[in-house]
Amino acid sequence: MTDTAVAAIRPAATILLVRDAPAFEVLMVKRHHQIDFASGALVFPGGKTAAGDHDPAWEEHVTGWDAVAADERPLRIAAIREAYEEAGVIIANHADGAPFAGDDRAGALREAVAKERHSFLALVRELGVKLDLGALETFARWITPDMMPKRFDTWFYVVRATGEQLAVCDGWETVDAEWIAPAEALRLEAAGERTIIFPTRMNLKLLAEASSAADATARAAARTLVTVLPKVEKRPEGAVLVIPEDAGYGPVTEPLSSIRA
């Protein structure tokens, strides 16, 4: 008998961009059907960290550098970069503190940044803005179970949208971008009208407990972060995934047969 190789865990970051107008909503994107992870699923913008997210030169182009732990800075930069690549939104401020509302330069270079023909750091320098690391509040942390072919250590961050930038899907990794009430996204998934993978669904349920963007960030700040590494348990009804009950989601069991990559 030979042991099955366990996939390496890659660091990743996801962003829950929330707003209150016209109602309490979160930005979600639909993954392209040809993407090899969560194809066709409704997800929050996010992805793996990239080498450029670790560049020490970022210190001069962000706010909140000293308030964020060194090993978490690249994750927050990655979350903001992914929001830009997948939805066209950059969480940044001008020198006077005014939120960056987007412009033609940012729009024109979006594909080049996503396909690594132009660095995100270079773009931020050219725009003359600073990424707002402090605006992101840690929402959750999930590690993919070891039986999955692709594994990620994903940090989820929640941040209030300024309302000045329009979200537009990129057309290659994502094919749709929509602002949607968390409860409505869950209803559509239950009705079979949307595909939502397990971690996204659990975090939508947690987000749906909030009444507003401010409430969502306040709840996240007050919550003790418990890393979620789902475990397989054999039950009479079959194998299920379980997660720690103190992680904030309550008792959760998910049939293993429903888990998709």
Q: Map out the domains of the chain as residue ranges.
A: 9-228
pLDDT of residue 165 exceeding 70: no
pLDDT of residue 38 exceeding 90: no
Residue 237 pLDDT level (bands cut at 50, 70, 90): confident
Looking at residue 190, the DSSP 8-state letter turns out to be H
Tens-place pLDDT, residues 104-128: 999 999 999 999 999 999 999 999 9
The CATH number that domain 9-228 falls under is 3.90.79.10
- What pTM did the predictor assign? 0.90
Tens-place pLDDT, residues 133-163: 999 999 999 999 988 888 999 999 999 998 6
Tens-place pLDDT, residues 53-91: 999 999 999 999 999 999 999 999 999 999 999 988 999
Q: What is the identity of the amino acid at 198?
A: F
Cβ partners under 8 Å of residue 207, min gap 6? 16, 18, 26, 139, 158, 182, 216
pLDDT of residue 33 exceeding 80: no
pLDDT at 40: 64
